[in-house]
Structure 1
């Protein structure tokens, strides 16, 4: 039987990840993405909220990346050169959206 669970990281990666997740600026970015989902897709937000509540009732040991945020996952990618090509996440919920934020030097004329 398959059950949901958190990814397992090496000690060094877990420490770095926790430091990022707890950083005030990252928390604010996550809050902004959450607000966008709430305001532009309220029905999806409600579905995520209800699903999150039910999931945590059945699996109370799950650790959520951000408290009171509906997105169930977060990814951090570091450069110096990072490219996000057009893609589809075929195993994701198709009516939802991703909150992608770029930080650092960015030249929009370069694509």
Structure 2
């Protein structure tokens, strides 16, 4: 699947959407993944040129999710969701963004990028005779922490800190969320 042209195109499209609608966040992902690749050249990305470190293929045959948050993803990060299959998008397969009180028609071939760690989301089932699949791209928040910690776990990183550097780290942690949210674009930025 990773080498199939259709998924390569979906990946390219998602990267393009990300770069256009969240250029600062996209650049952050790109820079962080470059640091990770430079740290260990043996690491393999699912797709060459993608800023996402991981992907999931949901082959159903009627892929549906309950309302959830993707806690493992970067809190302010985006994930790409692509709807696939053969179904009547007027009767099912809709994407629900619970916290925004939105139900979005989500036909086969549609792609959306959302901050999946902070917006509860799910989808509506399709009709019994229909097929729905999804393809999701994301990057775990733990990878960003690994890079931030100098390529070590939180536990090992915290063991190495002095009292002063621990206080500085705690102060930085308090503002990390705000710094992350500043990477979101507003319409005037685009």
- Verify same fold: TM over 0.5: yes
Structure richer in helix, relative to its length: 1
Give the root-mean-square deviation of aligned CA atoms.
1.2
The aligned counterpart of 1:45 is 26
Moved more, 82-91 or 51-60: 82-91
Structure richer in strand, relative to its length: 2
Moved more, 86-95 or 45-54: 86-95
* Number of residue pairs matched by the alignment: 92
- From 24, 33, 40, the counterpart of 2:5: 24
1:85 aligns with 2:66: yes
Residue deviations 1:15-58 (CA, integer Å, cap 9, x gap)? xxxxx111111100011111111111111111111101111111
TM-score scaled by length of structure 1: 0.76
Give ranges in structure 2 of 5+ residues lacking alignment. Answer: 93-123, 125-190
TM-score scaled by length of structure 2: 0.46
- SS of aligned partner of 1:103: strand
- SS of aligned partner of 2:56: coil
Which stretches of structure 1, 4 residues or more, deviate above 2 A after TM superposition?
none
Tell which structure's C-alpha radius of gyration is larger.
2
| Aligned-partner Cα distance in 1 for 2:66–2:17 | 22
Note the C-alpha offset of 1:95: 1.8
Moved more, 22-31 or 101-110: 101-110
Give ranges in structure 1 of 5+ residues lacking alignment. Answer: 1-19
